Amino acid sequence: MNNDMRVKLISCAAVAAIMSVTPALAQVAVTERADDGAIVVTAQKRAQNVQDVGITINAFSAETLVNAGITDATQLTQLTPALNLSGSYGGQVLSFAIRGVTQQDFSAQAEGPVAVYLDDGYMALNNSAGVGLFDLDHVEVLKGPQGTLFGRNATGGLVNIITRKPGDVADGYAMLSYGSYNDVRGEAAFGGPISDGIAFRVAGAVSSNGAYIKNLSPTGGDLGGGHGYALRGHLNFKLTPDAALLLSGYASKSYTSWAPYYVFASTSIVDGNGVEQNTVEVPGPTGVGSPTTAGGGRKVISNYAQDSGGSNALKGATAKLTVDFGPELTLQTDYKDAETRFLIDADGASSLFNGDTRSRVRNFSQEARLFGKNQGWRWYAGAYYLHIDAQVDPNRSPFPASGGLVDDFNKLVTDSYSAFGQVEVDLDPRLTFVAGARITREIKDFEYRAEYYSTDLSALPIADLGPARTPYSGHRADWLYNGKVQLEFRPRPGVLVYAGWSRGSKAGNFTSPYAGSTTFPDSALSYKPETLNSYELGGKADLLDRVVELNGAAFFYDYKNYQSFQFIGLSSLVINRPAKTYGGEATISIRPVDGLTVMGGGSYTHNKIDDVPVGGVIKDRVAPFTSKWQALASVAYNWPALGGTMSANANGHYTGPFYFSVSNFSTTRVAGYTTVDLRLSWSDAADIWKLSIFGNNIGQEKYRTVGFDLTGLCGCTQVGYGRPRWLGASVTRNF
């Protein structure tokens, strides 16, 4: 055994000992690397070695995501500690939660505190976590407030999706896969130079899968099926040696069944004064006669839910001009237009609570920024404008028992103006001081109305029975302040220790009363901006010539005016409360021999929202969709076989228990669960053909994901479940 191998084996033994007592997960390495083999990210609006950025980042290349079977952004939670999903509509509406920073409001005008960017353009729709992933360069998950360079609503962090751009050499690929439940997916991309200074790339994806939830109702349809497409194109112009213009356009649309919800019977626990203390699961049927279907048995009894009717569409365009004239100037114009329709039979058997919600969110942004560097320091300066037009028309909720239905309409127009700057100063070759600030002026105008209509179809047009709630108009104008101060210490090459404070903010907004609810007065509908002061200590290290990579961070979050969303009965409201969160995460990656990478790790998050009133009880609560513990592990091994290369990948992910409501009632508690994904691939020696077989959720774990406590409405609680075991095979042709 040579010395290098002996050192590697000793290192692996030492790391294994550390992992036995410390939760840790590797920073999943991307394949795009700098000359020294380091990962390259754009977390600070410029290309950098990820191990040299004083931010907790998990970065994934296209190759890493393909090998892990990741096809949409929601699956990033399987590879990222402290990243959870928040959602509604049986999982058809999904947004991200990081370290207890989340927003559960499902109305289209509500933005989340974890921002999602697609090719440097902000996505305002709160369902942005469901964006499809194909023909990518890489994806970055940044944790902690990122408001200085990325702006408002990046309080908890952001997910940055970077697609593949035109290159100097013609290349492309085509992929076709088939799996469980008649799951068919096809992808293709091609690009290269057109002429001197002009290059293009086009990419597309189509997908279709059958229902995987059997509806036993003779009037209902099977659920979980859908189909869709996505198209994207880039055109890059090299205007001069120091100037380039990138034009991008994209369009996608998916069609889905009604929201796939299960129900179980639930009842309230009250004290001697009749004040609700808790809600608990009880034997069925529910209060409206629906049989209990929760349990992950892949069978529902839903009289009204159908196998089609839902849709989700996104289209947009981006123009990005970069000019290097000493400092580098970037001018970017971005437009996105998202339309959704979601349908739901929430109570299962009756039509007491059905919903049909149609939304449209359009956002336009313009950014101008400068980046410059001199001997020993680097600086940013810029300005940003964002316009959002979000509307729900209608949010329709039938109530046949009372002979009517309610149509909600709301519209929110947002104009946001900001200026920002950041400087990095090398105090000596090992010590860097970072400081930045951003100021934002945000103006919002909100309109809401709800009409009560008859459901008597014998006489058309349907009679308007009058307003279900008095129309409401609101106006907000807020100043938002973000900032950052940090010290970064590099005692030796490949080692970084950083400590700092950062402040994030999320704008104030308005609650849209669900189904014309009058539970709360108009004065309660407007809520304040939230601010987060974050204190973080972290470190990164590349050891033994990158055989071992270590990353870790500890954090403390002090929230002012945390925006806490409640949905109880048919009452929806956001209130401001103080909150605190602390925790840590660690990541580790070992490459003991050529072709083998072992990763493992996890996170701990402790969250508390102070004095939250639920029913008649005021007490501290835990933020929804916040797991105290998460753990991940993966093994990837490549070896020569059959004249090419065989690759085996195994990924395991544990999510600890969490609540899907800030009420923290027993009905809203989700038990912890573990999923395991496997993939085996073979590529020929020229890397032209690739054949794969895979299995996701190979252990057939039955786990809840989202839900709502409707005890006061129907004596029931609705829950969504993750996908069952999903097997398949794919073939890819590179060219």
Q: Which of 613, 615, 557 is nearest to 583 (CA)?
A: 557
pLDDT digits 0-9 by tens, 719-730: 999 999 999 999
Q: Using one digit for the tens of pLDDT, what is the confidence trace for 393-440?
A: 877 776 554 556 888 899 999 999 999 999 999 999 999 999 999 999
pLDDT, tens digit, 9 for 90 and up, residues 84-106? 888 887 888 888 899 989 887 87
In eight-state DSSP terms, residue 256 is E
**d(C-alpha 296, C-alpha 705), whole Å:** 11
| The pLDDT of residue 88 | 82
Residue type, 13: A
Specify the CATH superfamily of domain 3-734: TonB-dependent receptor, beta-barrel domain (2.40.170.20)
pLDDT tens digits along 479-524: 999 999 999 999 999 999 999 999 999 999 999 888 788 888 999 9
CB distance 270 to 276 below 8 Å: yes
Residue 220 identity: G
Contact 532, 101 (CB under 8 A): yes
Tokens of 516: 């014309």
Q: Which amino acid is at 361?
A: V
Cα distance between the two ends of the chain: 41
Indicate if the pLDDT at residue 126 is higher than 80: no
Residue 35 has pLDDT above 50, yes or no: no
Q: 3-state DSSP call for residue 729?
A: strand
β-bridge pairing 509-510 and 548-568: unpaired
pLDDT the model gives residue 13? 34
Q: Which long-range contacts (CB under 8 A, 24 or more apart) does 43-49 make?
A: 43/140, 43/142, 43/160, 44/149, 45/149, 45/330, 45/369, 45/371, 45/380, 46/371
Supply 89's token pair.
Answer: 């509509």
pLDDT at 15: 30
Task: For 561, list phi and psi in degrees, rounded to 5.
Answer: 60, 40
Tokens 């007592």 belong to 21
CA distance 339 to 318: 18
Domain boundaries, the chain: 3-734
Comparing CA positions, the residue from 390, 340, 317, 393 lying closest to residue 127 is: 340
pLDDT band for position 38 (cuts 50, 70, 90): low
| Helix/strand/coil (H/E/C) assignment for every residue in 648-714 | EEEEEEEECCEECCCCCCHHHEECCEEEEEEEEEEEECCCCEEEEEEEECCCCCCCEEEEEEEHHHH
β-strand partners of 396: 356, 407
Given a cut of 70, is residue 624 above it in pLDDT? yes
pTM for the complete prediction? 0.90
Predicted confidence at residue 351, as pLDDT, reads 61
| Tally of CB atoms within 10 A around 276 | 18
| Ramachandran quadrant class, 471 (left: phi over 0; alpha: psi -120 to 50; beta: rest) | beta
Contact 89, 105 (CB under 8 A): no
Q: What is the CA angle 188-192-195, rounded to 5?
A: 145
What mean pLDDT, rounded, does the chain reach? 88
Among residues 691, 683, 488, 677, the alpha carbon closest in space to that of 75 is found at 677
Is residue 480 a contact partner of residue 439, using CB atoms and an 8 Å limit?
yes
Q: For residue range 513-539, what is the model confidence (pLDDT) as tens digits? A: 887 888 889 999 999 999 999 999 999
Q: Where are the alpha helices (DSSP H) in 514-564?
A: none
Q: What is the pLDDT of residue 468?
A: 84
